[in-house]
Amino acid sequence: MKINNVILQFTAKIVFFMIFFYAVHIFFAGHYTPGGGFVGGLVTASAIVLLIIAFDLKTVQSILPINYIYLIASGLLLALGTAGIAMFTGKPFFTHFFDYFNLPILGKTSLHTAALFDLGVYLVVVGVTMTIIQTIGEDE
Amino acid sequence: MTILANILVVFFIAAGLVFIVVSAIGLLRLPDLYTRAHAASKSSTLGVMCILLGVFLHFWLIRDHFNPTILLGILFLFITSPVGGHIMSRSSYIAGVKPWSGTVRDDLKPEIERMKKEQKIK
């Protein structure tokens, strides 16, 4: 039976942004406080799952036209690249670098290559979770 | 100042605890699913929001640490918990859970029958 889902869909539209930006906050806070790429990726995937529950799988795929297999591959490439870039400068595998930069709005910030590795973990976690849920969900 | 802040924190956490205990008693004592959903979604939401507000005030006034994540959690609970109660009770109505025998008025029943007739489901 097809029913009217206005309340759930309107709430999902608002709550999606709250969950997504909280996931971004967890991802960037992971260096000094609890959080990081894994939890951020899982929270982002749960935000997309909320959209899939409130709307349709086809609608969400047309809103976010992402092939999650490519997302997994790019995350793995990013992690391998940040780990292997140290070998070109003569340092051992997985050596990370950091330095302080003066960014326009944020002021003095330390940028660390471990954040790029974490971004790779984030992309892989989002890709794997969404691939599992979509392949189970669209099975007729 | 610390005594006033402590009184505020203790008041909010105690009020939240009372609301959560009341909602647990309501879950045990009320007769059918809809009244239980009413108890669970309303009073426990207010209880958890009061406890989070007490924790926020404790960290802000006594530990001197402003934590906006707790405020975001209060807002999130305030938005999502009634919607969760609404979705659960409506899906159980459509699945055929009967209301309590003392119910005098049922506005959803003719609406569901009209929708079933429109979509030709018996």
- Per DSSP, the residues of A66-105 read --HHHHHHHHHHHHHHHHHGGGGGTPPTT---EEEEEETT
- pLDDT category at A84 given cuts 50, 70, 90 is confident
Task: Say if A55 falls within a structural domain.
Answer: yes
Interface of A with B (CB under 8 A): 1-3, 7-8, 11, 14-15, 18, 22, 25
Task: Say if A88 falls within a structural domain.
Answer: yes
| Span A96-113, pLDDT tens digits | 888 788 878 777 878 888
- pLDDT category at B116 given cuts 50, 70, 90 is confident
| Span A129-138, pLDDT tens digits | 999 999 998 7
Average pLDDT over residues B114-118: 83
Calculate the CA B80 to chain-centre distance: 9
Average pLDDT over residues B38-55: 94
Is B95 an interface residue toward A (CB < 8 Å)?
Answer: no
Average pLDDT over residues A36-46: 94
CB contact under 8 A, A18 and B75: yes
DSSP H or E segment with residue B6: helix B2-29
Give the nearest chain B residue to A53 (CA atoms): B87
- Shortest Cα–Cα distance, B35 to chain A (Å): 20
Q: Write down the pLDDT at residue A96.
A: 85
Task: Say if A1 falls within a structural domain.
Answer: no
B72: nearest CB among A2, A8, A22: A22
Q: Write down the pLDDT at residue B16.
A: 96
Find chain A residues with C-beta within 8 A of B115's C-beta: 1-3
Give the nearest chain A residue to B115 (CA atoms): A3
Is residue A111 helix, strand or coil?
A: strand
Look at the alpha carbons of A78, A83, A87, A89 in this order and tell me if their dihedral is positive or negative: positive
Task: Say if A28 falls within a structural domain.
Answer: yes
Domain with A29, as residue range(s), is 6-137
User: CA angle B21-B23-B26, nearest 5°?
Assistant: 110
Q: Is the pLDDT of residue B121 over 80?
A: no
Size of interface A-B (CB pairs under 8 A): 28
Q: Is the pLDDT of residue B122 over 70?
A: no
Q: Is the pLDDT of residue A140 over 70?
A: no
- pLDDT category at B47 given cuts 50, 70, 90 is very high
| C-beta separation of A12 from A51 below 8 A | yes
Q: Write down the pLDDT at residue A105.
A: 79
Categorise residue A120: left if φ over 0, alpha if ψ from -120 to 50, beta otherwise: alpha
Task: Say if A77 falls within a structural domain.
Answer: yes
User: How many domains does chain A divide into?
Assistant: 1
| Span B84-104, pLDDT tens digits | 999 999 999 988 888 888 888
CB contact under 8 A, B87 and A15: no
* Amino acid at residue number A108: K
- Shortest Cα–Cα distance, B3 to chain A (Å): 30
Say how many C-beta atoms besides its own lie within 10 A of residue A51's C-beta: 21
ipTM score assigned to the predicted complex: 0.82
Task: Say if A71 falls within a structural domain.
Answer: yes
Q: Is the pLDDT of residue B114 over 70?
A: yes
pTM score, two decimals? 0.86
Q: Which residue has the higher pLDDT, B23 or B103?
A: B23
A14: nearest CB among B79, B87, B116: B79
| Span A23-37, pLDDT tens digits | 999 999 888 889 889
